[in-house]
Amino acid sequence: MSARPSHTAPPPLVERVREASRRPKTLGGAVPDAISLAMGEPDSDTPKPVVEAAVRALRAGRTRYSPITGAPDLRQEIASHLARHGGMEVESANVVATHGGSAGLAAAVLALLNPGDRVLLPEPTYSLYADHVAMAGAKAEWVSTLPDGSLDLRKLAAAAPEARMLILCNPVNPTGMVFSKADVEGIGAILRDHPDLYLLSDEAYSDIVFDGIAFTSALTLTSVQDRVVIAGTFSKSYSMTGWRIGFVCAAADVTERINLVHRTINGPLSTFVQDAAVEALRIPDDDLRALSARFQRRRDLVMRHLDGLDAVSVVRPLGAFYAFPRVDSAFSSLELVRRLADGGVLVRAGSEFGPSGEGHVRLSFATDEASIEEGLLRFTRVIKGLQVRPS
């Protein structure tokens, strides 16, 4: 086909997303011999029993269309898993299996928002939400978190009148913050005060928490459960980024709306991938705890390097696999990323994650310890070589 540009103007949806998007044009750079601390992808392989389940399913001919809301046994397993971890009742009617967490988030946003609706984004936060909001023709409103990474509940309450949705990332990509029970309940109180407000809680990293702290899911907000949507994914807990499987959980009438949008875009999910996902949910909780322990050791390694740097301040990550240091320098996040890449280490610009991310970079520690060690040595060398802020 011709490589020449089309002469027809793109529809407004494309222009809106292009304009709103803070995400990099390409993921992963081609800098020779660079160490990448840029990707949000666990370095370990998908657990063997999960792979074996997919192979068994393929050999058994599980290659035909699956039911459009997700395979009934998978939906039931997800419901039981959420009920067991969140300590409340969840039924399969509350669950839609989705094409990764991303498609679940997109479908939830498109199913619940009207053009022009206001959407509150506590930030810094995962950069995909603003793109989804733009796709729906709604308006993102950034609400910065407090310096210690916790929610600014006063600012959120002040912004809540007339807002339609609040999108919470918990644990937070990019800061590694895990919001306290009080913060999650504070959001519940805001929802109680504003009966038109939905909460979309992206809990992609809920299995990766450190220092023995307990994760509080928004599922626990039972008094407003008709307006709470949880999005989850198999990508991070089970190293299944390439399998493309996730889910949303909400009140049955809300899941029905979300499913309608999801199926219209995606159709049904891969049958054998869903069989493998059922197997993933049978992985013992002890294995998930071991996963957290592994990332916690890496968090400690990262913090040992960052704590020794005068020009860097960072909130200690409590979950996920990211640190979000602020670098006190004369340079923007993008310029810092460029200089760090020249110094042989790839990271993401903090400005991708919202206005208050400017001056920060995101380091991922979802890679092996030797690479983290070498990456942080290079990071330190570049940061120490930067000119301090001109007076």
Tell me, by CB under 6 A, how many residues bind ligand PLP: 13
**Rounded to an integer, what distance in angstroms lies between the CA atom of residue 99 and that of residue 2?**
31
Specify which residues 326 forms β-bridges with: 313, 360
Residue of the chain from 50, 156, 160, 169 that contacts ligand PLP (CB under 6 A): 169
Q: How many helices (H) and strands (E) does the chain have?
A: 12, 14
Q: Could you tell me which of 389, 365, 10, 375 has the C-alpha nearest to residue 173?
A: 365
- For ligand PLP, which is the closer residue by CB, 207 or 329? 207
Which range, of 3-11, 96-104, 144-152, 217-225, touches ligand PLP by CB under 6 A?
A: 96-104
**Given 143, 153, 190, 204, the residue binding ligand PLP (CB under 6 A):** 204
Quick check: 42 binds ligand PLP (CB under 6 A)? no
Residue 216 interacts with ligand PLP (CB under 6 A)?
no
Q: Does 40 bind ligand PLP (CB under 6 A)?
A: yes
242 three-class SS: coil
CB 247 within 8 A of CB 103: no
| Closer Cβ to ligand PLP, 101 or 176, answer by number | 101
Residue 173 in contact with ligand PLP, rule: CB under 6 A:
yes
Nearer to ligand PLP, 126 or 215 (CB): 126
Helix (H, G, I), strand (E, B) or coil at 103: helix
Report 228-257 residues binding ligand PLP (CB under 6 A): 233, 235, 241, 246
Cα–chain center distance at 94: 21
Q: How far is the CB of 294 from ligand PLP (least distance, A)?
A: 18
Max Cα distance, the chain (Å): 70
Instruction: Give the interface segment with ligand PLP, choosing from 17-25, 100-108, 190-198, 375-383 (CB under 6 A).
Output: 100-108
Question: Can you tell me the distance from the alpha carbon of 275 to that of 94, in angstroms, rounded to the nearest whole number?
Answer: 19
**What is the nearest approach in angstroms of ligand PLP to the Cβ of residue 269?**
12
- Which member of 101, 149, 268, 354 binds ligand PLP (CB under 6 A)? 101
Does 100 interact with ligand PLP (rule: CB under 6 A)? yes
53 φ/ψ angles, rounded to the nearest 5 degrees: -65, -40
The continuous run of DSSP H or E covering 363 comes out as: strand 361-364
Closest CA to 36 of 352, 351, 368: 368
Shortest spacing between CB 137 and ligand PLP, in angstroms: 22
Is there binding between residue 363 and ligand PLP (CB under 6 A)? no
Q: How far apart are CA 123 and CA 82, in angstroms?
A: 26
Residue of 117, 202, 275, 352 interacting with ligand PLP (CB under 6 A): 202
Read off the tokens for 198: 């939905």
145 binds ligand PLP (CB under 6 A): no
CA distance 361 to 13: 29
Q: How far is the CB of 55 from ligand PLP (least distance, A)?
A: 22
- Residue 382 has a CB neighbour count (10 Å cut-off) of 17
Give the residues lining the site for ligand PLP (CB under 6 A): 40, 100-102, 126, 169, 173, 202, 204, 233, 235, 241, 246
